Amino acid sequence: MLKKLFGNSHRSEAIQGALITLTLYLGIPILRARDPAESVDLMRYAARQGQRLARGNLHRKSRRATGKKRLQSHVLQGFPGIGPERANALLAYFGTVESILTADEETLANVPGIGINTARAIRWVAG
């Protein structure tokens, strides 16, 4: 069914993961399986995704980062409360990941979009 809709350009697991997210976390019931084996796969994917959510390990927005700035941004997005915009704001302010990791809470909190709680989280992870 998925190949009919999307062709071969998308991995069926990625599409099923998106459908699981819509169903479990947004409450939009759209899961379908063609046979019992695919039902088992869907349940397995759903369980894994639920475990990642519970651990806070959902995927980052960017795909594989290439280039130094993109890699730096990708690293920063692994910190609690840091998405692409905050990562770029931190890099614009400090210039390097090393400078961010060695900055104190007060200096981190001076970055536009970074509050004291996010600054504390950065220091907690970095320390």
Q: Where do the domains of the chain lie?
A: 2-55, 68-126
Query: Is pLDDT of 100 > 70?
Result: yes
Cα separation, 110 vs 116, in Å, equals 9
Cα separation, 78 vs 125, in Å, equals 10
Mean pLDDT rounded to a whole number for the chain: 80
Higher pLDDT, 18 or 75: 75
Helices (H), the chain: 2-6, 12-26, 36-55, 68-76, 84-94, 97-102, 105-109, 116-126
The pTM of the full predicted model, rounded to 2 decimals, is 0.50
User: Per-residue pLDDT averaged across 64-76, rounded?
Assistant: 82
Amino acid in position 69: K
CB atoms closer than 10 angstroms to residue 86:
20
**Confidence label for 18 from pLDDT (cuts 50, 70 and 90):** confident
Cα separation, 111 vs 10, in Å, equals 38
User: Per-residue pLDDT averaged across 41-49, rounded?
Assistant: 82
**Confidence label for 24 from pLDDT (cuts 50, 70 and 90):** confident
Q: Could you say which DSSP state residue 79 is in?
A: S
Specify the CATH number of the domain 68-126: 1.10.150.20
Higher pLDDT, 13 or 121: 121
